[in-house]
Chains A and B, each alone.
Chain A
């Protein structure tokens, strides 16, 4: 009895188990479709009566997604939809597919579809609406992230930067924090001023980036920290404390999601998988995602920068640049010997034949730094050796020629010094600006007791640069605010004043704009203007949207800030130039005074002794056309040959100094 009872119980249990299995299985791929039990669907709202079809549909959708590929996404999606409908109709389920989804979910799906269809403008506007809909709380984070991505795809990099930056502001709690960090990194490749991005990324400097980008990330951050150190030093005060924004309520219009979006979202998907941008970043390598405490003083920034440089792999293509930066930092820290070694290493690893990498421009910059360091230590021959390594195609060539002139002068080789100045004064470089050249020339003649010539050079200098100094003073007096100075600079660039003063002013402006910081700001302003134009010209669904209005406001605000910053820099640069010119003019006056005093002495002696000339004895200097076997001699007859620039030698055939061999 007991046995039978047990058997029955077992049979019933087995039957129940089998039945329950059959009921559960319809969700699977291959199970039998047995009916109503499976009708209770996966949808949260439970209205989908065609529940047993739903998993099947999902699978089809995924398969379609894989097959269609990104390039054919739009077409594939359309075709797929048609196919799906046909299939449903053939199965007779169309009447049952009456699922009622929440309007927010529907909106989200539609927005995502637009992204898939590459309708980024429409998608961005849709995501913005979801983001600003308090009822769509569960989609805030996704919408925020997708919005930033859509902006990136639209080529609105500054706008995308803003939105990704806002995700970062929310910290590691944001589901898309890590991916956003990397997106920011990619944006840094698209915009001119990388510091814009790096200032956000820098807060997470200790994050372990994907291997592929790790060295670049470290190098860029190191560079950023170095420039921060310079800024702090310039400001003469500790840097403001790192901006780790607490979660706070944002202005209502654009940021409903900021404090509400912290909750769990229904859509849980790994960030990397969600990234349809296809960057393929391996986020698993990330270990630490918390914000790092940033230094507040120069020493701290430099140390942080050095620490990052040391982490750059020697095999990385960023290694030479990192090494160069290390040299700069070492020099800044006063470790000049170590700095020289670092620069030498850059030169070695970038050797055109034996080096591991090729970057001629960087190699020349390293030569330049070596030359300057040796000059500082009065090792003029070494300095000249390195100056000579800077090729004529280099941007720094003229500057190297000019600095080499001083080195030659300090060695007493006046011919070479004056020769370089001939190149700088040639018609090829008419628009270049080296006022100090004439001062050096006047000093050289003075040193050789050629007072009349020296005075004449001083006169020439005054004629050329006094009007310029006046123009500069006038310009600065007119610029009531820094912004005005910047705008004036741009106006003068577009319509420069005529005449010699105008020409010189153009040189000054060119020089001001050659300031790297100012150049970057200028480029950023132009980028923002382009982006604003892009928004205005975009489809009406986007350009008339609230998002566009908000972006325009943001970009205008940003532009205003940059112009203000550029204005400050412009004014500072122009003021520096004014001071520099004033100091050169006063030096020129001093040279003239020395010349006049020396001539006066001669006159006095003549008057006292009654002799005709008691001036300094001028010795004939040797002149030769002989060269070594690897050089060619060309006489200068008033014409300039492009290939001879930088090779001119000026022979003072008379002077009161013994010639230096």
Chain B
């Protein structure tokens, strides 16, 4: 899967390891979670409504300033994180797919 975002500058930073959909990837310290995800892949999540609206599918955020709320992602632990305003941390386990009904029993 190709990366959506393209790093242009500021690449001299320590690496951070996280998993996305169970796959180990690396990002750079200081990345937002959104940048960590989109420099390793091309989407953050899927629309909740693609069965109702088939033209709506994968999403990758929109405003990057915490206004649009398009970039909320699920962690493997059932938590919700707003990717554009959350600094990436080592050890994060992120899913880009809906957790199905398991979110209700994880806690």
A and B pair up: no
Residues of B that sit less than 8 Å from A by CB: none
